[in-house]
Structure 1
């Protein structure tokens, strides 16, 4: 028998307006009114059960694809049918296996040098002693890193992608939360502009694959080269279209979210001078424990993504005392669990010490999602944030501030500091 948790009775349109106008405060208010688990009905997701209890979250993340699987309405609509975000079941598992090797520990260590190079280059453009938003800088750093480590782009293709991808990702990020039109509405509309840019992207990737196939792939360390060489268990290789979709997926997963988290790190540290001073001392001493904890705490205190979810595939999915029918979405409220006093004492306090020498519980700390659909680039993003933050603290002095915290600003997928992570720096 279907038994759903309580929730608002307003129409989908009204609930959608409420969700868009106050995405964070609205979720918190509903939790306080209806409890840890509640039901909503909003555009794109449709009828959905929202979770914020670690026991329920573990049940969701450990369920098999025959019970719950990929959300139909998700980033796969803009990243392409070959994207991990668009695949489900066995095909998702099969494709994911091909993407694991580029993100192992040995490969990540080789990528650290590139991350540091791009950070040093960007820091050279930072003004001295005057306020500026760091988000545009962190966006450039993460984009350049991905173009080099993932796309293996150089020369003309690098220059073209450097111009095209920020526009493509920015527009796609906003379109990912609105329905796809069922008719061709022309190139002058947002969707029309997006598909035009996507076609230009595919042409560039096709050239990059041609270049890769003519090169010594064993001498290359980029992800594209590895995907060109990779084979499924039956000996088949990924199609060019699937490679293009997957590269765009890795960009979407590791570019904007990492950049916004780094901007939040600057915003948080300027308002916590004691932590900032301790981090500088640690960098000078060659340590990393507090810095690694700080990266974790920034992601808890200022998660760049609001929700992660699944769709019920079984006739009913039993979770806690509820029975959710097929077709419903089940959504995890990331901020809800990260701000839970019972899980993280004084949750609104920025306190990296809570993660010093302590691994986060991946059913309570979930900025990368969880289960078999956890972000495949999580280790890469963590390495990148660590190296960028280390380089900033080593080469620049961040000037503390007593200004109020920056407000949240939605960029479609990611939540960024409202003023872009305003910084004042001096050379060290």
Structure 2
């Protein structure tokens, strides 16, 4: 993997400003550590350098990493004129019409369009779909035999999104079920690698990714055509119909290519992360019998306060997405005692913020009680990122996890285990249980 030297002008500007300390290791080793052992590398450098440090990483170049809630707040509340989305970003995977590619006013307009279906009454309407898909998948689960939950959770969250966001059914639903899982897995891995500057041939992973995208585009074209012919189109609540009905200030509709890119963003961003968090949930509660017992008792009624506390603690204790990045657009950006030059990336190390002793006493301990009766610090608990780029589907994902857990607890008994916790496994962007969040279940009478 090539690591290019900084242009002379860039070095000169950085020297004039005060940036956080840089490790002594050669830049090649810094990049290699970040690309292959991100969690371990960031933890090591945090222990050595404290709340902020500067590293040179593949794809993103010079990156300032911040590891505490105070600096995270500065990053997330900064003006969009000063800090934009990290460059390059996931729009190179999802397409130029994705929200990841938009900045400033365009980004605000797109969020305004996408917010309604993920809040309020619309959310309540989706709960039945979540329960239905959970029970459909659970019908084939083995009883009294350990199995991994990650892949079943992937199928559940995929089907939920395809039905509620795409409005997909029939042949189109089956095609998307077939092409999306390998596309998401491949795209997640390629997202942290440099994009080739030229075509390397049809045998490369980038060519496979393009082939999946072509198949996806064909299905979306058919879904759009079907939606526009639907007599009940004006009453449909899925996001596809919403985007087709939406217009910009000048009355022009959203381009078809932008709709495809945005739907793919919503699907990929919400599918893998939610499933991974659910797999970690089963891994965690099966190793904490007292937590499991409390969850079971609560599931027999209508409450969900403890279940919500468990979900919050899983997201903190087993962080799935471990960084949220920005790009310095202003001539320089004041961050704590430092001043960061234009062109640098700034990354919030979410896993390190979640492991703060000051914010979360005994942070290594899995303890849902820390969230009972109180909400976490907005800038210390950040599994969905923060600021203007906080995940637009956060409430939807929370609802999914709550209903999936409730449904399984009501229909199955989860056996507690004394097995050691599963290790972390990197899928490129997301971190999942290495053995897939394995549990043993028995159907309840």
Q: What TM-score results when the alignment is normalised by the length of structure 2?
A: 0.95
In the TM superposition, residue 299 of structure 1 has moved relative to its aligned partner by: 0.2
Q: Identify the residue that residue 26 of structure 1 maps to in structure 2.
A: 41
| C-alpha contact 2:355 2:363 (8 A) present in aligned 1 | yes
In the TM superposition, residue 218 of structure 1 has moved relative to its aligned partner by: 2.6
Q: Identify the residue that residue 124 of structure 1 maps to in structure 2.
A: 139
Q: Identify the residue that residue 285 of structure 1 maps to in structure 2.
A: 301
Q: Identify the residue that residue 318 of structure 2 maps to in structure 1.
A: 302
| C-alpha contact 2:309 2:368 (8 A) present in aligned 1 | yes
| C-alpha contact 2:66 2:349 (8 A) present in aligned 1 | yes
1:347 to 363, 375, 392: 363
The answer to whether residue 415 in structure 2 is matched with residue 427 in structure 1 is no
**1:248-287 residue pairs with structure 2 within 5 A?**
248-287=264-303
Q: Identify the residue that residue 194 of structure 1 maps to in structure 2.
A: 209
Separation in structure 2 between the aligned mates of residue 408 and residue 161 of structure 1, nearest angstrom: 28
Separation in structure 2 between the aligned mates of residue 293 and residue 173 of structure 1, nearest angstrom: 29
Q: Identify the residue that residue 246 of structure 2 maps to in structure 1.
A: 230
Q: Aligned Cα RMSD in Å? A: 1.0
Separation in structure 1 between the aligned mates of residue 141 and residue 191 of structure 2, nearest angstrom: 33
Which 5+ residue runs of structure 2 have no aligned equivalent? 1-15
In the TM superposition, residue 285 of structure 1 has moved relative to its aligned partner by: 2.5
In the TM superposition, residue 219 of structure 1 has moved relative to its aligned partner by: 2.9
**1:65-80 residue pairs with structure 2 within 5 A?**
65-80=80-95
| C-alpha contact 1:103 1:380 (8 A) present in aligned 2 | yes
| C-alpha contact 1:305 1:414 (8 A) present in aligned 2 | yes
| C-alpha contact 1:37 1:51 (8 A) present in aligned 2 | yes
| C-alpha contact 1:12 1:43 (8 A) present in aligned 2 | no
2:198 to 183, 192, 201: 183
In the TM superposition, residue 337 of structure 1 has moved relative to its aligned partner by: 0.8
Q: Identify the residue that residue 399 of structure 2 maps to in structure 1.
A: 383
Deviations 1:45-103 (A, max 9, x none): 21011111222111111111110001122211100001111211222112221111111
- The ranges of structure 1 where at least 4 consecutive aligned residues each deviate by more than 4 angstroms after the TM superposition are none
Q: Identify the residue that residue 109 of structure 1 maps to in structure 2.
A: 124
In the TM superposition, residue 139 of structure 1 has moved relative to its aligned partner by: 0.3
**1:163-174 residue pairs with structure 2 within 5 A?**
163-174=178-189
The answer to whether residue 79 in structure 2 is matched with residue 64 in structure 1 is yes
Deviations 1:289-337 (A, max 9, x none): 0001111000000011111110000000001100000000000001101
User: SS of 2:254's equivalent?
Assistant: coil
**Range with greater deviation from structure 2 (320-329 or 29-38):** 29-38
The answer to whether residue 383 in structure 2 is matched with residue 361 in structure 1 is no
Separation in structure 2 between the aligned mates of residue 339 and residue 303 of structure 1, nearest angstrom: 10
| C-alpha contact 2:87 2:345 (8 A) present in aligned 1 | no
In the TM superposition, residue 236 of structure 1 has moved relative to its aligned partner by: 1.5
The answer to whether residue 154 in structure 2 is matched with residue 154 in structure 1 is no
In the TM superposition, residue 20 of structure 1 has moved relative to its aligned partner by: 3.2
In the TM superposition, residue 140 of structure 1 has moved relative to its aligned partner by: 0.3
**Range with greater deviation from structure 2 (13-22 or 312-321):** 13-22
| C-alpha contact 1:98 1:231 (8 A) present in aligned 2 | no
| C-alpha contact 1:7 1:39 (8 A) present in aligned 2 | yes
| C-alpha contact 1:153 1:208 (8 A) present in aligned 2 | yes
Separation in structure 1 between the aligned mates of residue 194 and residue 262 of structure 2, nearest angstrom: 22
| C-alpha contact 2:68 2:356 (8 A) present in aligned 1 | no
Separation in structure 1 between the aligned mates of residue 256 and residue 24 of structure 2, nearest angstrom: 46
The answer to whether residue 256 in structure 2 is matched with residue 240 in structure 1 is yes
Which 5+ residue runs of structure 1 have no aligned equivalent? none
1:208 to 210, 223, 229: 223
Separation in structure 1 between the aligned mates of residue 217 and residue 206 of structure 2, nearest angstrom: 16
Q: Identify the residue that residue 417 of structure 1 maps to in structure 2.
A: 433
Separation in structure 1 between the aligned mates of residue 426 and residue 189 of structure 2, nearest angstrom: 9
Separation in structure 1 between the aligned mates of residue 326 and residue 272 of structure 2, nearest angstrom: 22
Separation in structure 2 between the aligned mates of residue 196 and residue 281 of structure 1, nearest angstrom: 48
| C-alpha contact 1:11 1:41 (8 A) present in aligned 2 | no
